[in-house]
Copies of this chain bind each other. A is one copy, B any other.
Amino acid sequence: MKRKITLKQIAQELDVSISTVSKALRNSAEISDDTKQKVQAFAKLYNYRPNNIALSLKNRRTNTIGIIIPEIVHHFFSNVISGVEHVANKRGYNVIIGLSNESFSKEVINMEMLANGSIDGFILSIAKETQKLQDYHHFNETMSQGMPIVMFDRVVAEINCDKVIVDDFNGAKKAVEKLIKNNCKSIALITTNDYVSVGKLRTQGYLEAFEENGITAEPKLILKIDDTLDNETQLDVLENEIEQLFKSNKSIDGVFAVNELYALLAMKVATKLGLEVPEDVQVIGFTDGVLSKHSTPRLTTVRQHAHRMGEMAAQLLIDKLESEYDTIDEEFQTVVIPTELIERESTK
């Protein structure tokens, strides 16, 4: 088929030079009105659009940002993407995605693939495996090449860059306080292993709420789920673990879970064991996703404002990109997005 038309072709066709065509299209005062009209009409007729790749090469800016996330089939992450895309689009940037699938090596490969000029900067949330290995060389290398990074949600303290995080600690704390205020006497925690930074922070929020209220935390009320468990296929294992928690602690009248799936399963198990939600046991989950919204009873959750996080991350990154001439400004900021407790039917 016919390829896209270029300046060169227009120039040939109209018997002028390439520079004249370029200037005419950009409405330069250097060019006579006659020529301008002729060129512009021709360009319009053939639907001329400047080639983006050539522009990128010339300007040494691609106007594209890369976003690397652990998974995309996930309410939180897809929401972040939509936020990123929203402001990126508004400000004339494209968004290119890479999935790490929670794997360290895929994260590294993805970043290397994009860092070679394809994008101007990164927005990313690191893979669990990376958190476990604590190998951050790829971030340092990328930044040392002058490519800015904005991390969100799962961030790493050792790396100096802009960050957008959820207030995991206080979000969890407030949720647990809510349970305490609602007269729960035996509040269980369902969380992940400690190397997952957000899981750890939420756990700390739980503990802090206890402490401030003079309650001593009981280890047996804390269930740490091994999250190498595949939530898709090993759902029954998960459910079983939670069931054991309930069975060996009949006193439980409140549950705080670090994600909505755990919270939902807690409700399910409770119901199965003949307990009523929220009468007998109240449940709050972190992460406000579709599951929480449409469960019966509808789950009280800690909303993270994922969309806003994405918007904020994109804003930070683009601001940095567009102020790169005053490169002295090597001040990095960490924006904390406050959480919001959405009270629904799983609490009194």
Contacts and interface: CB of A to CB of B under 8 A. Distances in A.
Interface string A44-65: 0001011111101100001010
A73 B75 contact: yes
Number of copies: 2
Contact-residue size bin, chain A (C-beta under 8 Å from the other chain): 35 or more
A82 B71 contact: yes
A338 interface: no
A133 interface: no
A53 B51 contact: no
Nearest to A92: B113
A220 interface: no
A99 interface: yes
Contacts of A291: 290-291, 294
Contacts of A62: 53
Given A53-B62, A268-B296, A47 B116 contact: no
A193 interface: no
Given A49-B116, A97-B97, 16 more contacts: A1-B327, A2-B145, A4-B145, A4-B146, A52-B117, A57-B57, A73-B79, A73-B82, A81-B97, A85-B97, A85-B99, A89-B99, A94-B98, A95-B97, A265-B294, A295-B295
